[in-house]
Structure 1
């Protein structure tokens, strides 16, 4: 009995350590991603890029290639080991980030961005497939909330630190030695965030694994009735997948609209220094994350039902409220008001989005978990592609300094309404999917 208890405690310690490594690695990826947005004004100033070209870098470069690589990365992770594939992904995006700093042409920057996208493509399917293997179902929601909240908190902190780094490099540029003076501050910032890559590569590669967490999906504990082939499963549950992933896509389009373009939209609208936007927006994101990741478990606890449908029902409450702050953005008269709107909308979006990993883990049969979760990366990547391109194209048609703020609203508001409609329709088909893949599941149809 004592030996069993010791083994259980040891497994729990290694599981939380593994989650810590996954969280730190994801934070590193978010910092890289946020810096690509923060250097956009500098790229436009020093290289003369248009809004559409910036949209192509942040949209096509990051999103399309991440989308293409996501499913193969999930398949490789299941087949050859999630730890190995994730470590190789870290190496890929770190090297590409360093190479980004040495490019002076649109083609070179686009190619480096593709390398970052391919390296980061495996994060979602690998991490979210690992969490159910590392943790029991009782602990899984807690691990999901901690990971999701921590990664988004890191995104906000990364935005703030990135803005401070760019500002500091710009102010101290005259004091650099001659061999660094030829680099622009944006180049030095990209080099700086590439430096920790080897450390994270080693952390992931040497991460201790539980007996079930390292490679192929467990099969011994899988219900014999659970589907094992992806296409028949997808056809049988297409209504569920359409509602859930459609809502995630529409929400991601709206959230990316603000995240990607605020660093350019606010200086234009209010005449502020672009280097200060990172600190203000990063603070707003941090506040939104802290509030959002608390609201989601608080609502679940308040409702107290504890069945597998509760995350979907809770998500539709949060998503239904997100169009309200989006509609107020064109009425802002100061950067502070814009940051407040970003924080309000972000908190609702974070609360809804933090519930989605648990929703997807429940609807995915264990034998198909990495492939189903790979769809999350694909959907988010497609949203990342659509949002910058749409806003870049629309803002060019609207004259005046507030044109980009209006373009953000034009894209994000309909997207949030569509997200609310789709997640509102999700509970009924979702319950049917649970009954199909879990023969012992019983829930009254909503």
Structure 2
């Protein structure tokens, strides 16, 4: 089997790829943090503006996600044609500024408008990061590198549930938003000054690839059946992840009657430790096992996603908040273990000239369907079930949402059937 594009990745000084990767890990941490910060602010924001659960779902997911989706494709095309370092740093500065503006909002409408800006800014950060990592690390090490990048997710969860929770409790929800915005402005300047733009992988003769058009990329993706299954499965898994993460804290408050600032640090540490270990292990495991059979990348994704259904169902069924917190840590870990091999495969299954666009499509599906539908779906189910279950409606809504990961795992499993052939096609396309 042809190892796609592994021989064409330049070999810069040994420490430079890791410095860039660390910066992108920090960028991803802030991207996720500014995305999820509202999950701990649901109750005070809802009380201040007099919102129902569906309006909260729009605020935490849908408005942000739709704007991100609209901006993703043009920014993805720009990623394939311009400096990815500059795009990542510029987008980081913009969405951080918009997060600060969220803290200044005086009405629900202005708060929605500021969240719109956050979505537009974050639309370029993810695709630029994935494309840079794909050129910094070859196919054999790419899942491990993507795992380090994805560690930003549990890190952001830890910061959100420890520092931001206490800031919101002590100084109010507006101050928590201001605090979340400052590190991004600092990192954006640092990246612009100290991180170099990676050289793009080249084709035959060492000629830099010409960026593909949207129609060329879309046509190529349609021919890569394994990639199509990964995109569908990933979108469904993001619906589950976004829906559950947006409402888990409200679940603890409504069903178990806990104070979030008291349980938040415990939950944050538990999720972060298990998530950090699990994500890195999944990436490393996928890289090691794939040396025997490339399909192990997809099998790791399938097995861990099925495990998340078990953890999620148990989490929202137990009778004590202590058991629920342990279950949430297990769910948060298993529900994200597909990310590292999934990100790596999305970049390996297309030639270098399409990496920005595929990264944009991945983030668009994840956010438009995931964060666009997930929080609103749980909120809508909770509202519909409230006349029957009362405050326990949120429990039933979350269990129903978790079960959708069975669908995601099914697509990950189907993707294994044509994976090796599709990797060969991507390698041949790169050489043309």
Settle same-fold status: TM greater than 0.5: yes
What is the Cα deviation at residue 211 of structure 1? 5.2
Q: Distance in 1 between matches of 2:178 and 2:260?
A: 20
What is the Cα deviation at residue 402 of structure 1? 1.7
What is the Cα deviation at residue 298 of structure 1? 5.8
Q: Which residue is equivalent to 1:409?
A: 399
- Structure 2 counterparts to residues 47-446 of structure 1, below 5 A: 47-169=49-171, 185-209=172-196, 212=199, 218-219=202-203, 221=206, 229-237=216-224, 239-297=225-283, 299-300=285-286, 303=289, 305-381=291-367, 382-399=369-386, 400-413=390-403, 415-439=404-428
Q: 1:16 to 1:151 in 2, by over 3 A?
A: farther
Query: Which deviations, in whole Å up to 9, do the C-alpha atoms of 1:326-346 show, x marking residues without a partner?
Result: 222342112221111111122
What is the Cα deviation at residue 9 of structure 1? 8.9
Q: Distance in 2 between matches of 1:299 and 1:14?
A: 24
Q: Distance in 2 between matches of 1:252 and 1:394?
A: 17
Q: 1:420 to 1:116 in 2, by over 3 A?
A: same
Q: Distance in 1 between matches of 2:101 and 2:242?
A: 25
Q: 1:54 to 1:150 in 2, by over 3 A?
A: closer
Q: 1:204 to 1:333 in 2, by over 3 A?
A: same
What is the Cα deviation at residue 151 of structure 1? 4.2
Question: Is this contact kept in 2: 1:267–1:273, CA < 8 A?
Answer: yes
Question: Is this contact kept in 1: 2:226–2:415, CA < 8 A?
Answer: yes
Secondary structure, aligned partner of 1:157: helix
Q: 1:62 to 1:433 in 2, by over 3 A?
A: same
What is the Cα deviation at residue 54 of structure 1? 0.6
State the number of aligned residues.
Answer: 413
What is the Cα deviation at residue 112 of structure 1? 0.3
Q: Distance in 2 between matches of 1:200 and 1:294?
A: 23
Q: TM-score, normalised by structure 2?
A: 0.88
What is the Cα deviation at residue 35 of structure 1? 1.5
Q: Distance in 2 between matches of 1:331 and 1:197?
A: 38
Question: Is this contact kept in 2: 1:67–1:121, CA < 8 A?
Answer: yes
Q: Which moved more, 1:67-76 or 1:302-311?
A: 302-311
Greater Rg by CA: 1
Secondary structure, aligned partner of 2:13: helix
- Provide the alpha-carbon RMSD of the alignment: 2.6
Q: Distance in 1 between matches of 2:306 and 2:30?
A: 32
Secondary structure, aligned partner of 1:12: coil
Q: Which residue is equivalent to 2:33?
A: 31
Q: Distance in 2 between matches of 1:426 and 1:202?
A: 40
Question: Is this contact kept in 2: 1:91–1:197, CA < 8 A?
Answer: yes
Q: 1:278 to 1:123 in 2, by over 3 A?
A: farther
Q: TM-score, normalised by structure 1?
A: 0.85
Q: 1:222 to 1:402 in 2, by over 3 A?
A: farther
What is the Cα deviation at residue 227 of structure 1? 8.3
What is the Cα deviation at residue 68 of structure 1? 1.4
Secondary structure, aligned partner of 2:384: coil
Q: Distance in 2 between matches of 1:149 and 1:407?
A: 28
What is the Cα deviation at residue 157 of structure 1? 3.0
What is the Cα deviation at residue 425 of structure 1? 0.8
Q: Which moved more, 1:328-337 or 1:373-382?
A: 328-337
Q: Which residue is equivalent to 1:178?
A: none
Q: Distance in 2 between matches of 1:211 and 1:161?
A: 34
What is the Cα deviation at residue 303 of structure 1? 4.1
Question: Is this contact kept in 1: 2:63–2:112, CA < 8 A?
Answer: yes
Secondary structure, aligned partner of 2:149: helix
What is the Cα deviation at residue 156 of structure 1? 2.8
Q: 1:187 to 1:154 in 2, by over 3 A?
A: closer
Q: 1:210 to 1:64 in 2, by over 3 A?
A: closer
Question: Is this contact kept in 2: 1:128–1:357, CA < 8 A?
Answer: yes
